Amino acid sequence: MLIDIEALLKSDALLKALEASGLATRIRDSVFLFPMIESTHVIGLALVVGTIAIIDLRLLGIASTHRSFQRMASDILKWTWGAFALTALTGSLMFITNASVYYHNFYFRTKMLLLALTGINMLFFELSAGRTIHNWDTAPSAPRAGKAVAVLSLAMWIGIICVGRLIGFTTSRAAVAPPPPAGVSFDDFLGAPADGGATQSTPAPHK
């Protein structure tokens, strides 16, 4: 128990240190840095989701059915990863401006969980349909496991967009004022101590 509290304090100290960093302060103090970072985040995520959807629709046999899957994947996925890097970078920059609030936000945690699940989904693809790619590369659709991966991927990315937008609605100065009820803490789900809700931090000034 003592160790848990200690770990928790440490993690909050880290979040506070991120908020106090020169970079975070600079973004908070600027009138246009945060909006520009947020816009770049939208541009990046549009490319991530847009290009992933192209691949998923190919797996499902809905679009681009006449193209070699491997050719398409090697053609498109490098842009997806580039856009993902841009999105992760801008996301991190937004996170540090108000780290302790985002960290405890339900929708932020759900989004991180979904992001991790899309990674596992990708891994599952590599271990299942990805292994027999040469058998269906030019077929109009992937085998059943590949289709399941595609449906899950589309659903999770749509979910990521929705919870992502909700972060903005629940972490702004006005929305943060009443702390969420302790009962809906996502901590239990992620394996953090159950009393995590007690450390609800006061929001940093946020634009």
64-to-126, 151, 172, 205 alpha-carbon distances in Å: 21, 16, 42, 48
Give the tokens for residue 58.
């190919």
Question: Binding residues for another protein, how many (CB under 8 A)?
Answer: 32
| Residue 156 lies near another protein (rule: CB under 8 A) | no
114 alpha carbon, distance to own chain's centre: 7
**CB of 128 vs another protein, minimal distance in Å:** 26
The token duo for 86 is 């841009």
CB 142 within 8 A of CB 129: yes
Interacting span for another protein (CB under 8 A) from 19-27, 161-169, 183-191, 192-200? 161-169
How far apart are CB 197 and another protein at their closest, in Å?
22
Examine residue 70 and tell whether it contacts another protein (CB under 8 A).
no
Count of helix runs (H) and strand runs (E) in the chain = 10, 0
Is residue 29 near another protein by the rule CB under 8 A? no
Biggest distance spanned by C-alpha atoms of the chain: 61
- For residue 180, the 8-state DSSP code is P
Lay out the site mask for another protein across 93-112 (x = CB under 8 A, - = otherwise). Answer: --------------------
Q: From the CB of 37, what's the least distance to another protein, in Å?
A: 10
Q: Is 34 helix (H, G, I), strand (E, B) or coil?
A: helix
Nearer to another protein, 14 or 179 (CB): 179
Q: Is 139 in the site for another protein (CB under 8 A)?
A: no
Distance CA 60, CA 63 (A): 8
C-beta of 1 vs 134, nearer to another protein: 134
Tokens of 46: 């549009």
Of residues 31 through 60, those in contact with another protein by CB under 8 A are 31-32, 34-36, 38-39, 42-43, 45-47, 49-51, 53-54
How near is the Cβ of 172 to another protein at its closest, in Å? 10
User: Which residues would be at the binding site for another protein (CB under 8 A)?
Assistant: 31-32, 34-36, 38-39, 42-43, 45-47, 49-51, 53-54, 63-64, 67-68, 71, 75-76, 79, 158, 161-162, 165-166, 169, 207
